[in-house]
Structure 1
Amino acid sequence: MDLDDSDRYRAPALDKGLDILELLAGVDGGLSQAEISKKLDRSPNEFYRMLDRLVRRGYVIRIDGDRYSLTLKLFGLAQLHAPVRRLASFATPLMRDLAEKSKQANHLAVFDRGAAVVIAQQEAPDYWGISIRIGSHIGLFDTGSGHVLLAFRSPEERQMMISEYARLRNDIDPGPEFHARLDHVRERGFEMMASVQTAGVYNLSAPILGPDGRGIAALTCPYIALVNTPSAPDIDETVSMLQETAAQLSLLAGSDVQHTR
């Protein structure tokens, strides 16, 4: 194929949008419209409408008034690809084993386009348990899954996730105390918090880590005290079981992390 043939089906507007996305993916802190046009050797007016559309579609966000930066929407789209579906498939037997041992339900959540989304769920083995439907969108700020998904990312990714979530929910960043809590979650390796949605439930959440050590999913057990099941593990034992299962899933995902009891 000669050069004329290779350009026969060019789509200039699409090329322009992809050029912007690829450029922003390689910089920290974003770029102004003028900087984008200079780096791509085009007139600034050529990019105004394209940047506006990318912002409106959620792929790019305006920061500090006149700078443009990528959101995590592309990352979220990638989460719907085969690796995450395989993770949910690999997780099923381990989540079932965790439910049997802990006598509690559990679920797996990932960050997808501004929300924490449940991609796998395992019922408790006996009569009582708290379960969440697959496909449910849950909060980043007020759930154990959300805290873990934020805690095990870089500061830059965390802020992008928070900004995207807050924009979609018409909410605001909870502030320094919330970020301090996320740092504490990362330091101890899991989250344990009273449920904001259901009285008497504790959210126990641990990260699934990818090959680069970043959190790619959160495994969560909505723990309830089983009064009529004296053999059921207590909350500390359940945390340990949860961490062990999360470490096994991290290994399947390619991480070299090890859980130590």
Structure 2
Amino acid sequence: MAGKIAEAPDYSVPALEKAFDIIELLAEQKDGLNQGQISEAVGRSIHQIYRVLQALERRGYIFRDRPAGLYFLSTRMFELAHRHEPLRGLVQAALPSMRRLSEAIQQSCNLGVHNAGRVLILAQVESPAAFGFRVRVGAEFPLFATATGRALMAFQPQERVSQWLQTSGIIDEKTDVERALARVRAAGHEEVADGLQPGVIDLAFPVIGPFGHAVAALTVPYVATSYSTLDLATVRRHAAQAAEETGLMLTPEPAGQGEAS
């Protein structure tokens, strides 16, 4: 019919849009949200979002603190982004310093982040020496029971630490864990014999991001053998420098810095 304006085809995918609404909502939350709060915030009924939440949880994009019924955004999207080589992110920022560190100390090193109450290993640089200790990329470890995890959590806001202590079910040992974190903060790093591998000393340094909190931890599993050309104090100094360099790579320069006057 003449004069009739053709309507644009509707290509919307309601279930997908609900998923994006939930992911974007949780990305803005410091604390988790329960099903009712999510339903209200995205303007959908609980019935409408129930299966979407299940699917997102099953695929690892969100996780649920089951005792409290709260949903949190996981680091799944972060992990996916860093599988794409051209993207400049945490791993790309850290690898140059990690490689220099490994070459200087003739030991391996790895980079870990917090993921849903666990430590996730994002990157690993092998020892250039004939002997070394390696950690598999993608491996996960307890958050508060490892040097890497304590280096991560010691440099977080107190409310976040309290949240994860509760989520991890740490009640009787809470005071001991808090003392350990205070010790790590005072020292600036964690240094402890590895709980799984005798003869290995874990040196874990926080990588401080632009907001003053640890976004990752750089860990050297130091092995004292005939291949170890540097003493522990020297390795400690090199590792601290590498972690600091990585943090600086993640922090944008103030406007105007470096410009010609």
Q: TM-score range by the shorter chain?
A: 0.7 to 0.9
Q: Partner residue of 1:169? A: none
SS at match of 2:12: coil
Within-5 A mapping of 1:82-161: 82=87, 83-88=89-94, 91-92=95-96, 94-111=97-114, 114-125=118-129, 127-133=130-136, 135-141=137-143, 142-155=145-158, 157-158=160-161
Encode CA deviations 1:172-215: one digit per residue, 9 max, x unaligned.
Answer: 54841224323432332111010112111100111222222332
Aligned-pair RMSD on alpha carbons?
3.5
Q: In the alignment, is residue 249 of structure 1 matched against residue 246 of structure 2?
A: yes
Within-5 A mapping of 1:47-66: 47-58=49-60, 59-62=62-65, 65-66=68-69
Q: In the alignment, is residue 213 of structure 1 matched against residue 212 of structure 2?
A: yes
For the 8 Å contact 1:207–1:217, the answer to whether it is kept is yes
Q: Partner residue of 1:37? A: 39
Encode CA deviations 1:70-114: one digit per residue, 9 max, x unaligned.
Answer: 3444444445452134225xx34x334433443433233344565
Q: Partner residue of 1:259? A: none
Distance of aligned partners of 1:3 and 1:201 in 2 relative to their CA distance in 1, 3 Å threshold = farther
Q: Which runs of 5+ in 2 are unaligned?
A: 254-261
* d(CA) in 1 for partners of 2:164, 2:26: 16
* d(CA) in 2 for partners of 1:25, 1:130: 36
For the 8 Å contact 1:95–1:122, the answer to whether it is kept is no
Deviation of 1:61 after TM superposition, in Å, equals 1.4
* d(CA) in 1 for partners of 2:246, 2:206: 9
Deviation of 1:124 after TM superposition, in Å, equals 4.3
Give the aligned length. 241
Q: Partner residue of 2:185? A: 186
Q: Which runs of 5+ in 1 are unaligned?
A: 167-171, 257-261
Q: Partner residue of 1:26? A: 28
SS at match of 1:104: coil
Which is worse superposed, 110-119 or 185-194? 110-119
